[in-house]
Amino acid sequence: MAELRSEEEQLDVIKRWWKENGTSLIAGAVIAAAGVFGWHAWQDYQEGQAAAASVRYQQLLTIANLPEQGAEQLDSAKQLVNELNDDYGSTLYAELGLLLEARLAVGQNDLDGAREALERAADGASRDYVKSLAWLRLARIEIAQGNPEQALELLDEPIVDALAAQRLDVRGDAYAALGDRDNARKAWQEALAADGQSQSLYGIQFKLDDLGAKEATS
Summarised one tens digit per residue, pLDDT across range 177-188 is 999 999 999 999
Q: Do residues 151 and 195 share a domain?
A: yes
- Are 119 and 38 members of one domain? yes
Same domain for 175 and 208?
Answer: yes
CB within 8 Å of 168: residues ≥ 6 apart: 187, 188, 190, 191, 194
pLDDT, tens digit, 9 for 90 and up, residues 33-85:
555 555 455 465 556 677 888 899 899 999 998 888 889 999 999 999 999 99
**142 located within any domain:** no
* Residue 50 resides in a domain: yes
Count the domains in the chain. Answer: 2
Pick the residue with more confidence: 3 or 198?
Answer: 198
Per-residue pLDDT, averaged over 187-192, amounts to 94
Predicted confidence (pLDDT) at residue 97 exceeds the cutoff of 80: yes
3-state secondary structure of 209: helix
95 and 170 share one domain = no
Q: Are residues 114 and 162 located together in one domain of the fold? A: no
Domain containing residue 162: 147-218
Contact status, residue 77 vs residue 64, Cβ threshold 8 Å: yes
pLDDT of residue 211: 83
What's the CATH code of the domain at 193? 1.25.40
CA distance 165 to 171: 10
Q: Is 117 in the same domain as 57?
A: yes
Looking at residue 73, its amino acid is Q
